[in-house]
Structure formats: structure tokens, C-alpha cells
Amino acid sequence: MTRVLVAYGSKRGSTAEIAGWIGDTLRGQGLETEVADAGSVRDVTEYDAVVLGGALYEGRWHKEARRFARRHAAALSGRPVWLFSSGPLDRSADEAEIPPVPQAARASAALHAVGHRTFGGRLARDAKGFITARIAERTGGDYRDPERVRAWARQVAEQVATTHGTEA
């Protein structure tokens, strides 16, 4: 069976939840899928494909996603990899494709990623921290679209199936 890893870098849990939706969708398409915090992954050699996601904070891709890309670039050579970002605190990610931020673009190039997708983010209106609380007052809310995430994950599953000669 084709094995897929969905790894994520998440600070407040929103990106982790998106990774979970992706994992559930891939499993529903018949792929053996593991979802894990990017910082906890030590070995990627047992996976046939990888999806790596990172939350966006102040225009930067989550540090654990960046570290994962650097740490595992050699081992992922020749394996299909997809990237995603989550973070815009508005509906812009639903209205048009948003290019990856510079760190995600560098990871995409280093990993020879098949593709990248940006999804809306979530920030609780009662978020803690001085700067975060100020942002939450203005733009807090949940801007994620679970069906858009799942539709993208189904596309990933189809591409994995094509690459590995299985059905999705």
C-alpha cells in the first residue's frame, strides 16, 4: 500500500487541523496516511509521498516546516512532495491562488515539490499576546474552507495514485 506522510508546523492548532483534514481525505482515497507534527518526524524513508504544511505568521512560513524541508531534502529526493500554507485572515485564499511566501517557495524548490496551495487561516478573537490580540481584534475568525482543503487533498491522492500505479 502507498504510504503518505502529512507533516505540519502549527503554533495555535489551525494548521494541524488542516493537516488532519488532508490526512482523513487521503485515507478515504485508499492511501495509508500518517499525520505528524513536522518537528517530531525523524525519518521519511518509509513514505512514498509527503505533504508538508506550515502556518503563516507575519509573512513567514512556520519554522518547523522550514526545518523539516531542510532536514529531509536529501531523503525526499525522487519522492513526490506537496506543500501547503495556512494563514490569510480573510477570504483571499478562496478567491485566487496565492503564491507561496519566500520560505515556502525555497522549500518548494529544494524539495522539487509537485505543487503548493495556500488556505485561509484561523485566529481566535480572544487570542493571547499583545500583538496577536490586536490582530485578532481586527481580523480574528476562521477563514478556512474545509471543502477546499479536501478537494485539494483529493487531487493530491489522484496524483499519488498515478505516480504509484494505485487507485485513489
Domain ranges of the chain: 3-164
Distance of alpha carbon 133 from alpha carbon 124, whole angstroms: 9
The confidence score (pLDDT) of residue 57 equals: 86
Strands 60-61 and 49-57: antiparallel
Contact between 91 and 120 under an 8 Å Cβ cutoff? The reply is yes
| pLDDT digit string, tens, across residues 79-120 | 999 999 998 888 999 999 999 999 999 999 999 999 999 999
The confidence score (pLDDT) of residue 125 equals: 66
Distance of alpha carbon 50 from alpha carbon 34, whole angstroms: 10
Q: Output the pTM of the full model.
A: 0.92
Contact between 81 and 69 under an 8 Å Cβ cutoff? The reply is no
The class (CATH top level) of 3-164 is alpha beta
| pLDDT digit string, tens, across residues 56-86 | 988 899 999 999 999 999 999 999 999 999 9
- Percentage of the chain beyond pLDDT 90 is 76
Grid coordinates representing 84 are: 501547503
The confidence score (pLDDT) of residue 105 equals: 97
